[in-house]
């Protein structure tokens, strides 16, 4: 079995409360899952889309990535690669063992005085998976089988990709909500910020955006706004956004955390007011979109296509009916 990470990297991740599942997957309880169990509120996706944060499992099927983004909290010891060169774990194995590892990590919450009993009880019944924890989940060769398994178990799927794998995206099973990270408005700045391994990184991102525009998933372009670095060239962003034609745009302030503190400064972390002001500047180039929501604790704004009339919550029953009957 060829593991994706070394024993020392595994140890360091486990110290950070990750649980490795098999040779290339991992789970970690999200801050907001804990927060919801303790009655302190859910994440911005709870507010924007109806994700029940206490019933959400944060995971990845690949610890490896093809970018080394300056704003990423991961340190540069994390595995990077352009192609898959490891063992391929079975989707059933990943599903059942990820749920087990997640539930085990939550046991400790039973001891908190301020726990919300109902939320704690419900947290054992996972309803949402966020395939975004770290690395590039989309490169796991059996990602489609796993996504179908999640849906069969009525677990919704949010998948985040940095757009460096257009072919995998073209062949990807429909997910509940698809994210492409757009970290810069032009080729030069993208290279500086994402430090991509692929030499044709710009063409790959643009191809992925074109594919996103043709897909049936609910779609989101996520911009990580880094002050004094990429909160600029709104026209460049607008051109990329038109290419991807997403339903939603999330403008999320960069967080000065983890290993990113070795690469960026605290001053690069915008406050909520700055993110909101910049979102309004961006909207000037996007007449089809409007600002519909925000979440101050996460320093994030939500821009949505006007066709949604501000109604952005997900009808999960309708989604499962569609994907299980395979009728768009």
Give the residues lining the site for ligand SF4 (CB under 6 A): 30, 32-33, 43, 45, 51, 53, 56, 58, 130
Quickly count: other Cβ atoms within 10 Å of residue 277's Cβ.
Answer: 13
Question: How many residues make up the chain in this entry?
Answer: 328
Nearer to ligand SF4, 102 or 206 (CB): 102
Cα–Cα dist 233/185, whole Å: 6
Nearer to ligand SF4, 155 or 238 (CB): 155
Placement of tokens 């999200």 in the chain: 30
Helix (H, G, I), strand (E, B) or coil at 55: helix
Nearer to ligand SF4, 129 or 229 (CB): 129
Quickly count: other Cβ atoms within 10 Å of residue 14's Cβ.
Answer: 12
Nearer to ligand SF4, 18 or 201 (CB): 18
In whole angstroms, the minimum distance from the beta carbon of 53 to ligand SF4 comes to 4
In whole angstroms, the minimum distance from the beta carbon of 138 to ligand SF4 comes to 17
Nearer to ligand SF4, 128 or 204 (CB): 128
Are 286 and 241 in contact, with CB atoms under 8 Å apart? yes
In whole angstroms, the minimum distance from the beta carbon of 105 to ligand SF4 comes to 13
Cα–Cα dist 228/17, whole Å: 32
Quickly count: other Cβ atoms within 10 Å of residue 186's Cβ.
Answer: 16
Nearer to ligand SF4, 42 or 163 (CB): 42
Nearer to ligand SF4, 25 or 283 (CB): 25
Nearer to ligand SF4, 179 or 237 (CB): 179
Cα–Cα dist 115/51, whole Å: 19
* Backbone φ, ψ for residue 252 (5° rounding): -115, 125
In whole angstroms, the minimum distance from the beta carbon of 146 to ligand SF4 comes to 17
In whole angstroms, the minimum distance from the beta carbon of 29 to ligand SF4 comes to 9
What is each CA distance from 275 to 113, 123, 263, 279, in whole angstroms?
36, 32, 21, 6
**294, two tokens:** 């925000």
Q: Per DSSP, which regions of 6-73 are E strands?
A: 19-21, 25-27, 56-60
For 276, residues 6+ apart whose C-beta sits below 8 A from its C-beta are 291, 294, 301
Placement of tokens 């990750």 in the chain: 18
Cα–Cα dist 134/96, whole Å: 20
Cα–Cα dist 325/328, whole Å: 9
């Amino acid at each position: 079995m060829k593991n994706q990470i070394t024993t020392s990297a595994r140890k360091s991740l486990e110290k950070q409360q990750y649980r490795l599942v098999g040779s290339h997957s991992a789970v970690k309880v999200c801050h907001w899952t804990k927060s919801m169990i303790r009655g302190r509120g859910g994440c911005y996706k709870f507010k924007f889309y109806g994700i029940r944060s206490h019933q959400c499992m944060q995971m990845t099927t690949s610890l490896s990535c093809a970018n080394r983004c300056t704003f990423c909290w991961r340190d540069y010891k994390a595995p990077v690669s352009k192609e898959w060169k490891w063992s391929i774990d079975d989707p059933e194995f990943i599903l059942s063992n990820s749920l087990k590892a997640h539930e085990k990590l939550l046991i400790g919450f039973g001891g908190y005085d301020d726990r919300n009993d109902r939320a704690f009880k419900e947290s054992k019944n996972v309803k949402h998976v966020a395939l975004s924890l770290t690395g590039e989940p989309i490169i796991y060769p059996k990602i489609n089988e796993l996504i179908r398994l999640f849906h069969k178990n009525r677990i919704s799927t949010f998948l985040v990709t940095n757009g460096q794998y257009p072919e995998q995206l073209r062949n990807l099973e429909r997910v509940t909500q698809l994210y492409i990270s757009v970290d810069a408005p032009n080729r030069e700045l993208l290279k500086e910020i994402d430090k991509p391994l692929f030499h044709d990184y710009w063409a790959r991102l643009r191809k992925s955006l074109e594919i996103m525009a043709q897909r049936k998933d609910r779609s989101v372009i996520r911009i990580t706004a880094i002050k004094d670095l990429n909160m600029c060239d709104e026209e460049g962003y607008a051109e990329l956004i038109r290419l991807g034609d997403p339903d939603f745009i999330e403008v999320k302030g960069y967080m000065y955390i983890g290993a990113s503190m070795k690469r960026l400064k605290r001053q690069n972390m915008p406050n909520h007011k700055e993110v909101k002001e910049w979102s309004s500047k961006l909207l000037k180039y996007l007449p089809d979109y409007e600002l519909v929501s925000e979440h101050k604790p996460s320093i994030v704004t939500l821009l949505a296509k006007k066709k949604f009339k501000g109604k952005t919550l997900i009808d999960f029953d309708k989604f499962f009916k569609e994907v299980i009957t395979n009728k768009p």
